[in-house]
Amino acid sequence: MINWKIIIAVVSIALSACAVAVTLYVARRKNWYDKIDERKIHTGNIPRLGGIGFAFAFLAVSIFLFVSFGPVSLHWYYIIVFFAMFAVLLIGLVDDFKPLKPKVKLFVQCAAALSVVVSGYYYQRLFLADFFGITGLSWLRYPITFIFIVGITNAINFVDGVDGLAGGICSLIAVTYGIIYSFYFHDAFAVLLCICLAASIGGFLIFNLPFPRAKIFMGDGGSQFLGFVLAILPIMHRGNVKLELPIPYVIALLIIPVFDTIAAIWRRVRDGRRIDSPDRLHIHHKLMNLGLRSRGIIGVLYTLQMVLGVLVFFAVTIPGKKSLFMLLSAYLIGLGFFTAIHFLNKSALEKRSKHQTDEL
């Protein structure tokens, strides 16, 4: 019996690694290197087009999966979604070469998200069971799905600040999706899609070895592509509510980029700055201010992501009100972590400022 899970994993990681290697070679020959600005913490010449590699692998293998294993009725709808994913990747790659105005990128992201919703892919419910008399999102499913897709498309970019961080977190989320769809929904097709995404990211992460030391960044094209895919992956079964992971569970898995994005928007609104203005107060910057280096930051956030994954898995698989308790625990742990890091970072910056003042 053919083990398609192993085959898809091997093919995806191999295609991704080869595509990233070719991209790295071309980028070095053409001097396509990342520009250092207020957000960046790296030094040296490093290309930032690695997203091409894992995006190519995921799109190629996912097309094969839809043609070979996907419901026939969904083939044409997936073509629309495919072009939406490609558009998000393309606008990000253009931005990697020549920074675009935020409204241009947002327009393309909104168009891509709208095409997904119009195609019939959207979140329809809040819980897996009927809690508190709430059965679904009703008409709110359209605006909620649209806003969520656009938000997550941009959120992954905020945590893409340490070598291997965004890729690793996204890979862990994809693995958790796959485990849930395997053990709870028993959906082999969705599991293969999740394996494809996780393995494609793995092909890119190879170039962070010895870990973490990036030879190539994923760039805005890669981070936006990952955000877009992670936002729509739980709803790739068009209109089939029985195979849908409800949006509160998805958000719980994406707490790190979601909370970091909310904090960033709040800081900039509070300070009267543009929402897209750069700063060095994202979660990885704060951990760095506390004395952690790249491996320490990755270790802390990978651990948090795995804890969130375990809690969401039990929230899905445990029946009754215990399910809500596990889901709430994920949110509380995420909130507690971000709150603690915020105040620890504030204290560290105050001590550093006082020390510098005393020296003067």
Lowest mean pLDDT among 134-148, 246-260, 300-314: 134-148
Q: Is the pLDDT of residue 324 over 60?
A: yes
Provide Rg for the chain, Cα atoms: 20
Backbone angles phi, psi at 206, to 5 degrees: -55, -30
Q: Is the pLDDT of residue 279 over 90?
A: no
Between CA 291 and CA 328 the distance in angstroms is 30
pLDDT digits (tens, 9 = 90+) for 18-34: 999 999 999 888 887 76
The answer to whether residues 30 and 217 touch, using CB atoms and an 8 Å cutoff, is: no
How large is the average pLDDT for residues 309-323?
Answer: 92
How large is the average pLDDT for residues 136-149?
Answer: 91
Lowest mean pLDDT among 205-214, 254-263, 270-279, 350-359: 350-359
Quote the pLDDT of residue 263.
93
Nearest to 243 by CA among 286, 181, 331, 173: 181
How large is the average pLDDT for residues 255-279?
Answer: 89
What angle separates helix 294-317 from helix 165-183, to the nearest 10 degrees? 20
pLDDT digits (tens, 9 = 90+) for 207-240: 887 666 778 889 899 999 999 999 999 998 766 7
pLDDT digits (tens, 9 = 90+) for 59-98: 999 989 888 876 665 667 788 999 999 999 999 999 988 8
Structure tokens at 110: 């909104």
- For 117, the domain range is 4-359
pLDDT digits (tens, 9 = 90+) for 154-212: 999 889 888 889 999 999 999 999 999 999 998 888 999 999 999 999 999 998 876 66
pLDDT band at 136 (very low <50, low <70, confident <90, very high): confident
* Contacts of the segment 273-280: beta carbons below 8 A, 24+ positions apart: 276/102, 278/37, 278/38, 278/39, 279/38, 279/39, 280/38, 280/39, 280/41
Q: Is the pLDDT of residue 43 over 60?
A: no
pLDDT > 70 in the chain, percent: 90
Give me the number of domains the chain comprises: 1
Quote the pLDDT of residue 42.
47
Quote the pLDDT of residue 29.
85
DSSP codes, 137-179: -GGGHHHHHHHHHHHHHHHHHHTTTSTTHHHHHHHHHHHHHHH
Q: What is the mean pLDDT of the chain?
A: 88
